Every structure is written in structure tokens, then in C-alpha cells.
């Protein structure tokens, strides 16, 4: 799906309705902007409850903590 938006004088961009509906994005939802080459990747910030169990099975031995740096 291809959609075009224009940057306003207040540096705002409206996300096209077809994109919002396809991804089920809601008003007030937070997003993160990640630079990628000449462009930017827009990703929704996940809700805390959606992160539960995301690291299930992760190796916990030999884990480096900030304490072991400089």
C-alpha cells in the first residue's frame, strides 16, 4: 500500500486513514521514530502488557550488566 502525506508548517504529518485502519492505530497512541538511511521508520510503542513473556527462554548466564563497564 502506498500513501502520501505532506509535512505541515507546524511540522506535523497526518497518517492516512487507510494506514491507520490497517494497523489499528488509535488517537493518543505513542510512536517511536528510528532513522534508517535517508528515511525514518515509524513504530508504535508497545503496551507494557504486550511485553510480558517476550524474553521467555533467554539465556541469563554470562549476562553483562552496566556494573562491569569502566
Burial-class residue 19 by CB neighbours within 10 Å (0-12, 13-18, 19+): middle
Find the domain containing 2 and state its range. 1-48
Q: What is the pLDDT of residue 59?
A: 75
Cα–Cα nearest to 29, from 38, 4, 19: 19
pLDDT tens-digit profile, the chain (70 residues): 678 999 999 999 999 999 999 999 999 999 999 999 999 999 999 887 777 777 787 777 777 776 666 6
What integer pLDDT is reported at residue 70 of this predicted model?
Answer: 62
Residues 19, 1 contacting (CB under 8 angstroms)? yes
Number of structural domains (the chain) is: 1
In a domain, 69, yes or no: no
> Residue 7 belongs to a domain with what CATH number?
2.10.260
Does some domain include residue 67? no
| Structure confidence at residue 68 (pLDDT) | 65
* pTM beyond cutoff 0.75: no
Residue 9 lies in a domain: yes
Amino acid at each position: 500500500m502506498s500513501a502520501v502525506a505532506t509535512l505541515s508548517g507546524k511540522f506535523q504529518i497526518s497518517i492516512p486513514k487507510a494506514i491507520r485502519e490497517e494497523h489499528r492505530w488509535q488517537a493518543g497512541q505513542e510512536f517511536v521514530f528510528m532513522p534508517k538511511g535517508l528515511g525514518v521508520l515509524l513504530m508504535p510503542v508497545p503496551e507494557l502488557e504486550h511485553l510480558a513473556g517476550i524474553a521467555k527462554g533467554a539465556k541469563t548466564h554470562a549476562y553483562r550488566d552496566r556494573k562491569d563497564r569502566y
